[in-house]
Amino acid sequence: MKTPDNTIRLSPQEILMGFTASCIESVAERLGIGYAEAYKRMDSVGMIDGFIIKYYDTLHTESREVLTDRLTESLKNWEERI
């Protein structure tokens, strides 16, 4: 949506989806796998809805490096439990 001053404003949902996509991309890059594979793995253990989206308010305040570390470690731990 454009505002009167010609800037684009994103809805909260669009911001959340962009954040989620960037988390998946960061994990994929860290693990050396494709985005689709990272999405599949993260989704299969419930990480996208049950962690990234659920705790967005806290997670988005962390540095990209710390967040990627946390997500990568969590994914490995969650997959081991299954």
- Domain borders along the chain are 12-81
Backbone angles phi, psi at 6, to 5 degrees: 70, 20
What confidence score (pLDDT) does residue 79 get? 96
- What pLDDT is attached to residue 2? 56
31-79 residue pLDDT tens: 999 999 999 999 999 999 999 999 999 999 999 999 999 999 999 999 9
Residue 38 burial (C-beta neighbours within 10 Å; 0-12, 13-18, 19+) = buried
Q: How confident is the model at residue 28 (pLDDT cuts 50, 70, 90)?
A: very high
CB atoms within 10 A of CB 42: 24
Question: Could you tell me if 26 and 35 are in contact, meaning their C-beta atoms sit under 8 angstroms apart?
Answer: no
Question: Is residue 1's pLDDT more than 70?
Answer: no
CB 75 within 8 A of CB 27: yes
